[in-house]
A = this chain, B = another copy of it.
Amino acid sequence: MELWYTEQHTDNVRFSIKVDKPLYTGQSEFQRIDVFNSKEFGNFFTLDGLMMVTQKDEFIYHDMIVHVPMATNPKIKNVLVIGAGDGGTVRELTRYATIEHIDMVEIDKMVVDVCREYLPQTACKLDDPRVHLYFEDGLKFVRTKENTYDLIIVDSTDPFGPGEGLFTKEFYGNCYKALKEDGILVNQHESPYYDEYAKSMQRAHKRIKEFFPICRVYQAHIPTYPSGHWLFGFASKKYDPLTDIDEKAWNSLGLKTKYYNTDIHKGSFALPNYVKELLAEAGE
């Protein structure tokens, strides 16, 4: 017998992974959660059948969502993380001794419970004393905050289902308000390659631009996400990730990373012309 996990990236494209063993299947109040073990990717977990995290390559996503803002402003102390139930984003943040406080708001407690059991590689720092876990809707949580955070990371699912509210104008406006005057907002920004994802990317970019004076997009190679060409949004009230990056400060920390380095930080903001055109269209 062979068991294959298949994700439909578009109506016309499928990506399949040979599964050695299904480890967990559950249905939370919000979504279906599955964990599988595979030879190629180790353990991986999916929400409503969509790939979230694999042991093999989670380092790419987590390096790029955390170290890009942290190298841009090494003085970040107070962080809000929305989503990120697998724990990988918090794991990377806790490596900075300079960070004093991390609020993590995940709507679905079952995701955290399942990842603690099956993905200890990512869910390993959730008990750090600086981490405060809230099992709530991030959209509501951020409404109550003002001038509080140096950095907000939106590590969400796609813009449908439980993650939908995290791509709205109201949400981005509230993030702006919740950030201090030199605050940074980073979010996962979908892919430019297939039309349906590119439309989500354009919509998010357009909405974020309405609030933040600095608004850039950067990219990474994430082979287990649709097209493997994945984007992140970097929005900020003050810092430009290209000119304000403090390479010396970041390199002097001596953090060992498998993907991120300060050259790739700068290189990741150099986008293909077709992506630049999609963003320009959205910004008009």
Contacts and interface: CB of A to CB of B under 8 A. Distances in A.
Nearest to A4: B14
A263 B267 CA distance: 8
> How many copies of the polypeptide does the oligomer hold?
2
A124 B7 CA distance: 36
Contacts of A250: none
B223 A227 contact: yes
A122 interface: no
A72 interface: no
Interface stretch (A87-95, A111-119, A253-261): A253-261
Nearest to A64: B272
Interface stretch (A15-23, A132-140, A174-182): A15-23
Interface residues of A, number: 40
Interface in A269-283: 269-274, 276
Nearest to A14: B16
Interface in A1-31: 4, 10-18
A278 to B, nearest CB: 11
Contact of A13 (B17, B227, B266): B17
Contacts of A194: 40
Given A16-B16, A228-B227, A258 B274 contact: yes
A221 interface: yes
Contact of A266 (B17, B57, B261, B270): B270
Interface string A203-223: 000000000000000010101
Nearest to A60: B272
Query: Among the interface residues A10, A11, A263, which one has the most CB atoms of the partner chain B within 10 A?
Result: A263
A219 B16 CA distance: 24
Interface in A28-66: 38-40, 57, 60
Contacts of A276: 261
A219 to B, nearest CB: 7
Interface in A213-261: 219, 221, 223, 227-229, 257-261
Interface of A: 4, 10-18, 38-40, 57, 60, 193-194, 219, 221, 223, 227-229, 257-261, 263-264, 266-274, 276
